[in-house]
Amino acid sequence: MIESFTLSTGFGAWNAIFWVIAFAIAIIIGWLIWSRGEKTYDTSAGSTAPFLSGNAEPEKAAVHIRAGNLYWGYTEALSGYYRFIKPFHTGNLSDYFLAYLLVTALVLIVVVILK
């Protein structure tokens, strides 16, 4: 019956219900392992607080990594590509019109010549 929920792409198959069942079994196994853990752990004496080699913990706003600093490696690696493509995105309305008319001209040439 679950087979009726299979998405057949003609060259492969994907059934989300099997995936959900497998995921649920994995979660149940994980929960069983977790529930066999140590239940008498005392967290009241600061034993789960972050330890920074004895330094004071900085304030919350300084600890959180902001969006501009994530993926620094990616943006550095692709900096050549970004230097090419960011200048196209000026905010200038004339450039928007120019791009539209250029694409119209290009598609006209392609469709007319390669009929």
Partner 1 sequence: MIDNLPFLVVAGTIMIGLYAILMKKDLIKMIMGISLVESGVNLFLIALGYRWDSIAPIFTGAPSLAMVMPTVQALTLTSIVIGVATLALLLSLVMVIYRYYHTTDVRKVTKLQG
Partner 2 sequence: MDILLSNLPGLLIAIPLLGAFITPILSRAGDSIRTTWILIITTLTSLCGLLVASRVLESGPLVYAFGVDALSHVIPPDSGGIPIRIIFTIDPASAFMLIIASIVGFCITLYSISSMEKLSGKDGFYTLLLLLIAGVYGMIATGDLFNFFVFLEISSLAGAALVAYRIDKGVAAEAGLKYAALSTLGGMLFLVGIGLLYAQYNSLNMAVIADRMQLTSLDIIAFVLFFTALAMKCGAVPMHFWTPDSYAMAPSAITAFLVVSSQASLYALFRVCFTLYGGQINPLTVGWIIIILGVLSMFVGVTMAIPQKDVKRLMAYHAVSQTGYMLLGVGVGLAALSSTCLSQSVGMMALKGGLFHIMNHALYKGLLFLTAGVIMYRCGTRNLNQLGGLGHSMKWTMVFFMIGSLAIAGIPPFNGFASKLLIYESTFLFNPILAVIAMVVSILTLASFVKVFHSMFMGPVLPEYQDVKEAPMPMLIAMGILACLVVLFGLFPQQVVDMLVAPAASALVDYHGYISAVLGGA
Q: Is residue 9 close enough to count as binding partner 1 by CB under 8 A? A: no
- Taking the C-alpha atoms of residue 96 and residue 89, their distance in angstroms, rounded to an integer, is 9
Tokens of 82: 């970004």
Tokens of 32: 């069983």
Tokens of 22: 């497998």
> What is the secondary structure of 44-91 as a DSSP string?
TTSTTS---TTPPPPPHHHHSPPTTTTTHHHHHHTHHHHHHHGGG---
- 22/98 with CB nearer partner 1: 98
CB of 41 to partner 2, least distance (A): 22
- Tell me which residues in 76-115 interact with partner 1 (CB under 8 A): 86, 89-94, 97-98, 101
Binding residues for partner 1, rule: CB under 8 A, are 86, 89-94, 97-98, 101
Binding residues for partner 2, rule: CB under 8 A, are 4-12, 14, 16-17, 19-20, 59-61, 63-68, 70-71, 74-75, 78, 81-82, 85-86, 88-89, 91, 93, 95-97, 99-100, 102-104, 107-108, 110-112, 114-115
